[in-house]
Copies of this chain bind each other. A is one copy, B any other.
């Protein structure tokens, strides 16, 4: 499905939105605050200028987003124009892929890895969140921002930046947040729901996962394990497992966090999180996986003991090289 993808600038994007109508806005699978916040804010904005628009997601939308998803009360109709927001790759549409993938007229996104699958693309890779792009549309088109729209946009920005914590934050991110506050959003409540609320099952799981903690290589590596049994016992769904990999690297002095999640009886997904000079992508590469310098993964087969031994050997090799270099310096 190699096709020509036309890249639009902001003015062209807004012209496009003004001259089309009857929008269906698609979000990505395992929907997060940014894809949902962006989709609902855009839909509400389009409605406010007399267009028709509604949002579709492959997966059920988690209830924690009700405060803008239910509040928006969008209604479906016979759409004409298919848009996707925050969807870097058509495959991330899930089962909607079959139905829509070759008919997507416009894709609005901020992922540098965007695969250019839509006829038209607005891509701002400097934006911390797609919600920043949607905010720019509101400004450029002079559409009115309501408290509900501001809440959806804030949700998008806050969730994609870990509440302004990560390196994707720019001065513009904070300037937009300052503007959104002026519409009377309850940002503290949004942040409580997004960042400070865990399911009871997750607490159960964390307890079990922390029990598995193994410190290796002079406590510079922390290895955590999540077995299928733990997932069942705690009642955790896949979405409850988010962030377990981050725990493994959050301990003082740890340069390499390893989390091993069982996906099938003898299949384990290994996530690595590293700090320089360790290179997670290189370590996982030796085991048939890949990723980024600071976050990578691989899938290993066999017993848990075998998997642990394999990943431990690969991490140990990286530490040995690092230590040899340090001594040589």
Contact = CB atoms under 8 A, between A and B. Distances in A.
A6 interface: no
Nearest to A177: B174
B169 A187 contact: yes
Interface stretch (A43-51, A66-74, A202-210, A258-266): A202-210
Given A198-B251, A200-B251, 6 more contacts: A164-B191, A165-B191, A167-B187, A171-B179, A174-B181, A198-B250
Contact of A171 (B169, B181, B219): B181
A108 B283 CA distance: 50
Number of copies: 2
Contacts of A165: 163, 188, 191-192, 195-196
Contact of A219 (B200, B206, B215, B219): B200
A213 interface: yes
**A163, A174, A197, A251 interface centre (most CB from chain B within 10 Å):** A174
A253 interface: yes
Contacts of A163: 162-165
A215 B199 CA distance: 13
Contacts of A303: none
B171 A182 contact: yes
Interface in A257-293: none
A45 B187 CA distance: 32
A246 B246 CA distance: 19
**A198, A200, A211 interface centre (most CB from chain B within 10 Å):** A200
A198 to B, nearest CB: 5
A215 B192 CA distance: 20
A136 to B, nearest CB: 16
A249 to B, nearest CB: 8
Contact of A252 (B162, B199, B211): B199
Contacts of A253: 200
A215 B200 contact: yes
A174 B166 contact: no
Contacts of A207: 207, 210-211, 213
Nearest to A181: B171
